[in-house]
Amino acid sequence: MRKLIGFILLTSISLASNADGGWPKPKGKGYYKLSQWWLVSDRHFTSSGNIDPNSTRGTFTTSFYAEHGLTNRLTGIVYLPFLTRTYENTQISGTTGQVTEKGEALNSFGDTDIGIKYGLSKPGGKFVASATLMLGLPTGNARGGSDGSFQTGDGEFNQLIQFDLSKSFSIGSIPAFGTIYSGFNNRTNNYSDEVRFGGELGGAFANEKIWFITKLNIVESLKNGATAAEGGGSIFANNTEFASYTFEAAYYFNKTFGLSASYSSAFSGEIIFADPAYSVGLFLDIK
Amino acid sequence: MKKILIILLTLSGCIGEDIVFDEVSSEIRLTNPLVSLEISTSYQFEYMLLNNVGEEVIPDELIWQSSDESILTIDADGLALAVDYGSVIITFTAMLGESITASTFEFEITDETVITRTERFGVLKSTSSYTLEGDFDLSEEGDNLLLTFESNYVADTGLPGLYVYLSNNPNSITNAYEIGVVTKFSGAHSYTISGVDLYDYSYVLYFCKPFNVRVGDGEIKDN
């Protein structure tokens, strides 16, 4: 789950509004967002891809995300999940009505991502290509709670290299953009490395005050690390795979300030929760 | 800053409640069964009453009955006296509130008291999408029990926090005996268990703690 969180937030680099995909921010410009992401689930994709039940667990993350143009081709990126709450419901016997296991929650800082995006193509070209290096810092709690399964981070330092290819175009009078990407996430501490790829498509309406964006994200684990069982009680920290889709809408109150909301769910997966995730956020898009 | 954190926490999820379907049939069973009882000797039967969640409880009343008092007599405390040769069935009925639970047990009156059941058996089966299979036996070894899995044992490695228990309720670990975290996922291996008697539990249960769900189980049988 943590990796889904990380992944969705990480890849929301390219979706949050009409901001970006492969486009680096011009020097001094930026995109900044305060958002809340959450997922509550009582079922999960198993290691064989089937869906099994589990006790209800929830994760709520409040984060700050920023892209800032350091030069016209180099953009600095930071994702700070400064408050992450993960919890499990209290278990009640359906026969006796007694509590069989008291619910539990953990509040802490999550795992931080910092990185840079570099424009490989010259600004103004037909296609925009960029390369992104993101570093995942283990600033969260990887073994929280009474049984160590309450996590706000995975406890490992990972490095993601991603390439984006984007193009802006029009569908009739509708301004639109598309992006495809692929990436490799090198993970440490015996976690399996990951290959990631996907794409997004967005269009603007109402004089570019409203943007609708849809995304496809796929993560394939190389399964070259420890098994989930060897990871102790950690949930969804390793060998996670999924193919997910996201629908996002962004509304600009004015030229720079807006509100966005998204819905994400998985078509398929392994070792990951099987319920949808949501987010809402306020953003500042300085162009 | 503190106020902002409080607001954010308020907006975050609260701990709710999950209802666990943990009902099983109540059960009464002998914990010291025998194959045969020597004629003209007595034997004190012991029992365990389990309620509808597999928790051991004390009955309000317990009635012992012999199928043939010319062969075996048994008093209100479960003390049996072998009177004559032959086969006999004892019936023991427990009353707890409005619940009545009964069971029977058949054995022989012979020239020798034989208590040979020092070993019980079972077959693991998965009750989830995770792999779990294999034969096992539970045997007495000195003051301990030995839970041995055969070479056909396989458990899924894709599950975090997999634990093995002895339980009287395959749907719950509430009153179960935790043997430990699973570290062997294939092949023959064993666990030494202390402080537990051979007839204290009726299931070997594999349970994922972080998910709070049963992965699979095997009923412990006499043969």
pLDDT in tens, A74-84: 999 999 999 99
Query: Which residues are bridge partners to A135 per DSSP?
Result: A114, A159
Residue of A nearest to B162 (CA): A229
Q: Do residues B218 and B124 lie in contact, with contact meaning Cβ atoms separated by under 8 Å? A: yes
Nearest partner of A250 among A241, A239, A262, A240, judged by Cα: A262
- Residue A229 has φ and ψ, to the nearest 5°, of -65, -40
Segment holding A130, helix H or strand E = strand A128-137
Contact A190/B at CB under 8 A: no
Q: How high is the pLDDT of residue B158?
A: 84
Query: Does the beta-carbon distance from A52 to B213 stay under 8 Å?
Result: yes
User: How far is the C-alpha of A73 from the C-alpha of A131, rounded, in Å?
Assistant: 10
User: How far is the C-alpha of A245 from the C-alpha of A263, rounded, in Å?
Assistant: 8
Contact B161/A at CB under 8 A: yes
Query: Does the beta-carbon distance from B210 to A149 stay under 8 Å?
Result: yes
Give residue limits of the domains in chain A. 2-286
How close does chain A come to B118, measured CA to CA in Å?
33
Condensed to tens digits (0 to 9), the pLDDT of residues A235-283 reads 656 888 999 999 999 999 999 999 999 999 999 999 889 999 999 999 9
- Is B14 a residue whose pLDDT tops 70? yes
Query: Does the beta-carbon distance from A92 to B128 stay under 8 Å?
Result: no
Contact B159/A at CB under 8 A: yes
Q: What's this model's pTM, rounded to 2 decimal places? A: 0.86
Condensed to tens digits (0 to 9), the pLDDT of residues B101-110 reads 999 999 999 9
Query: Does the beta-carbon distance from B129 to A51 stay under 8 Å?
Result: yes
Query: Interface pTM (ipTM) of the complex?
Result: 0.84
Q: Percent of chain B at pLDDT above 70?
A: 94
Given B12, B129, B174, which is nearest A52 (Cβ)? B129
> Tokens 């419901």 label which residue?
A89
Size of interface A-B (CB pairs under 8 A): 144
Tell me, which fold does domain A2-286 have in CATH? Answer: Porin (2.40.160)
Residue of A nearest to B131 (CA): A48
> Tokens 């680099």 label which residue?
A13
- Is B11 a residue whose pLDDT tops 70? no
- Residue A237 has φ and ψ, to the nearest 5°, of -90, -20
- Which B positions 68-127 lie with beta carbon below 8 A of chain A? none
Of residues A86 and B116, more confidently modeled: A86
- Is A159 a residue whose pLDDT tops 50? yes
How close does chain A come to B209, measured CA to CA in Å?
8
Query: Does the beta-carbon distance from A92 to B9 stay under 8 Å?
Result: no
- Is B45 a residue whose pLDDT tops 50? yes
Contact A284/B at CB under 8 A: no
In A187-252, beta strands by DSSP E? 194-205, 210-221, 241-252
